[in-house]
Amino acid sequence: MQRRERTRHLIELGGLVQKAGLVELTDDDRATLYGALLDLAGRARGDDAGDVLALWKRRGKRAFDAEAEPLIDS
């Protein structure tokens, strides 16, 4: 069961990479994607890590909320 949960978790994380538009931006280049993610991890370990993570969290929540809002027909 743990293996199935881990697989689902990894698939969901991959979905976030897709949803963020990174696959298209990098032309599906795995080395570029990995390098970008390593850069993000480095920023999250920097001196202002708390601020960086808080900013990313706010942006992510706003994006999720915007997706969840129902479309209003004119």
**43: which residues sit within 8 A by CB, 6+ positions away?**
49, 52
Asked whether residue 64 is assigned to any structural domain, the reply reads yes
If pLDDT is split at 50, 70 and 90, which confidence band does 10 have? very high
* 24-68 residue pLDDT tens: 999 999 999 999 999 999 999 999 999 999 999 999 999 999 988
> Average pLDDT for residues 1-18, to the nearest whole number?
96
pLDDT of amino acid 65: 94
Asked whether residue 40 is assigned to any structural domain, the reply reads yes
Gyration radius (Cα) of the chain, Å:
15
Asked whether residue 36 is assigned to any structural domain, the reply reads yes
Asked whether residue 38 is assigned to any structural domain, the reply reads yes
Quote the number of domains for the chain: 1
Range of 63's domain? 1-68
pLDDT of amino acid 73: 64
